[in-house]
Amino acid sequence: MIEVPAYAAEQVRAAEEPLLDAGEPLMARAAAALAGVASGMTDAARARILILAGSGNNGGDALFAAAHLAETRSVDLLIVGTRVHEEGLAAAVAAGARRVELPDVRDAAAGYDLVLDGILGIGSTKDPALRGTAREAVEALLPAVRAGRTHVVAVDLPSGLHPNTGECDDAVLPASVTVTFGGVKTGLVRGRGPEMTGDIVLVDIGLREQLDAVEPAGTAQVSRIVDAAG
């Protein structure tokens, strides 16, 4: 394991802002690394993958990762937010991913090998609890996940987990792996975070200089670091 700093969600957002303003392709870097981790956990010939895409940037990360995965794997997309990252959705569908609805997921819940949880990210500091379609989808998938039939890759953090405190209710998909971007969020190592995150993979998307200039909020142990910044 590798010890690294951990940061509050607000610190990570502040580090991202100037790079986003400058047009740095942070989402593309995150999505490529996410797809690489997911590919390593599945068999291309047999794997069935479900993407849970929320309204924010985590949904975009998951959809662009789906575009990579759908080139070699069977990928279903469930849009659970009130809006969707249209460019990411178009890329995923063009690559062969198939849109499904909540009843389809309920019927096939035990048949997925892998779920990419891209419902909520670090924007959920006020109230991270899942609601509506997102909560219903998670509740439908939980029995297969808890039985070990379906594995989960959390996109940046498990949806429903508070990114700073690690608090959550029971409608959270426990991840086998959490692929977190830029810096480890303190919620992954506090509260219920350790029971929900599985192995943590830290993806360097180019925030190191900005984060090195602030005082970390804690420390974390990660299984590996992926350099996606080039």
59 known member of a binding site: yes
What residues have CB less than 8 Å from 227, skipping those under 6 apart? Answer: 204
Residue 117 labelled as part of a binding site: yes
Question: Domains in the chain and their CATH numbers?
Answer: 2-227 (3.40.50.10260)
Encoded tokens for 170? 């029971």
**Residue 125: is its pLDDT beyond 70?**
no
Sorting pLDDT into bands at 50, 70 and 90, what band is 100?
very high
Return the amino acid letter for 134: A
* Other Cβ atoms within 10 Å of 171 Cβ, number: 17
Query: Is pLDDT above 80 for 172?
Result: yes
State percent of the chain over pLDDT 90.
92
58 in a labelled binding site? yes
Say which residues have a Cβ less than 8 Å from residue 31's Cβ, sequence separation at least 6: 60, 61, 62, 63, 64, 65, 67, 68, 88
Q: Is 60 annotated in some ligand binding site?
A: yes
Consult the annotation and say whether 61 binds a ligand.
Answer: yes
Selection from 216, 227, 214, 160 nearest residue 184 by Cα: 216
Share of the chain above pLDDT 70, in %: 100
